[in-house]
Structure 1
Amino acid sequence: MLSLTDTPLSAIKFDGETYQINLAFDNVIKYLELVEDDSENKELEALKLFFGDQEIPLDPDFIESSFKLINETITKSAYQGSFSKDWSMNIAPQHIYSYEQDADAIYSSFMMQYHIDLLKERGKMHWCVFRALFDGLSEDTPIQRIIELRQKNLTDVPDEQRGKVMQLQQYYALNLKKPKTEEDVFNSSSLSSAFVSLMNAAKGG
């Protein structure tokens, strides 16, 4: 959630040291994709995403405090509260849009409404700024039209238009790899389990 008075999260202090956190929008999107990834060592990949080549302490307190801040920053909304229930890497799934599948529509929507080239903003635009702009996209933008189409109830569509709307819904349907409920993600996130292992390893020295 963007604040007009506070600087968006970009660093964390731990034991007197400051560690920079990369929360550029494209980096966060890679993180969200990583949540559903089945590859090994993804917990280390997540650390690499946010902290780069910095030498960070593999301390359970550091990991816990870092990802608590990161998840709160990513998921917190002024209107819906925070999706994340604890410090772990639990991200509520998006079932009405996909940053990967809808990349073209999102890009063109930002260009259409804000004249912002998101490709030129990679590595620069903070996630909080990106989300504020995304949430402010008008209903006339490509991504919002697609979202509206996906949510349309066919029973509310006139008979003569229903066939066309159904075809469009099929065309723009999301290719969900592993459909999960929000509760499933919160309770059985493999990435969360991986970080528990990482924390246990840190505790063991």
Structure 2
Amino acid sequence: MLSLTGTPLSAIKFDDKIYHVNLAFDTVIKYLELAESDEPDQEEKAIHLFFGDQELPLDPDFFESSFKLINETITKAPYQSNSSMNFGMQVAPQQLYSYKQDADAIYASFLMQYHIDLLKERGKMHWCVFRALFDGLKEDTPIQRIIDLRQKNLSEIPDEQRSKIAQLQQYYALKVNKSKAEQDALSNNALSAAFNSLFKAAKKGGK
């Protein structure tokens, strides 16, 4: 969530040292895609996404606290409570749109309304800025039209339009990779265990 008085998260302090965090919108989208995938070593790949090649402390507390802060930054919304959400590789469900599947529509919407070329903003535009602009997209933008279409109740559509709307809903239907139950399985405890394993492996490699 964007703040008009504070600076968006870009660094984390741990044991009096500062570590840069890459929260560009494209990095976060890669993280969300990783969280929904079946790729092995998700935690290690997530660490590299956000921290790059920095030398990080061999302390599970660093990773646990860092990812808690990162996920709070990613998922916090101004008009809803996130108090029940866990952190880790778990993310807010996206039931009406997909950053991957709807990439064309999102790109066209930003270009149409803000005259912003998102391809030129990769690695630069902070996630919080991206989300604020995304939430401000008007109803006539491509992505908002698709979202509206997906929400339409066919029983409320006039008979002469129902077949066409149904076909459009089928065409624009989201491809769901993981169930909510599977996403919930990536819990706080699972993440802590994973980082403990990383910590032990790093210590062994350093001997």
The two structures have a TM-score, normalised by structure 1, of 0.92
Counterpart of 1:72 in 2: which secondary structure? Answer: helix
Amino acid at match of 2:60: P
Instruction: Name 2:96's counterpart in structure 1.
Output: 96
Aligned to 1:76: 76
2:55 paired with 1:55: yes
2: CA distance between counterparts of 1:78 and 1:22? 22
> Aligned ranges for residues 190-205 of structure 1 at < 5 Å?
193=190, 195-202=192-199, 205=203
Q: Compared with structure 1, are the counterparts of its residues 131 and 177 closer, same or farther at alpha carbon in structure 2 (3 Å cutoff)?
A: same
The residue type paired with residue 197 of structure 1 is: A
Alignment size in residue pairs: 202
Q: How does 1:1-205 map to 2 (within 5 A)?
A: 1-82=1-82, 85-180=85-180, 184-186=182-184, 188-189=185-186, 193=190, 195-202=192-199, 205=203
The one-letter code matched in structure 2 to 1:185 is Q
| 1:56–1:23 distance in 2 versus 1, CA, 3 Å | same
Of residues 157-166 and 77-86 in structure 1, the stretch that sits farther from structure 2 once superposed is 77-86
1:192–1:27 distance in 2 versus 1, CA, 3 Å? farther
Structure 1 residue identity aligned to 2:196? M
CA distance in 2, matches of 1:125, 1:162: 40
Identity percentage of aligned residues: 67
Give how far 1:18 is off: 0.3
Which moved further from structure 2: 140-149 or 88-97? 88-97
Distance (whole Å) between structure 2 residues aligned to residue 195 and residue 127 of structure 1: 25
Residue 189 of structure 1 deviates from its aligned partner by 1.6
Q: CA deviation at 1:86?
A: 3.4
Q: 1:142 to 1:158 in 2, by over 3 A?
A: same
Q: Which amino acid aligns with 2:183?
A: V
Alpha carbons of structure 1 residues 191 and 103: separation in structure 2 relative to 1, 3 Å: farther
In the TM superposition, residue 136 of structure 1 has moved relative to its aligned partner by 0.2
RMSD across aligned positions (CA): 1.9
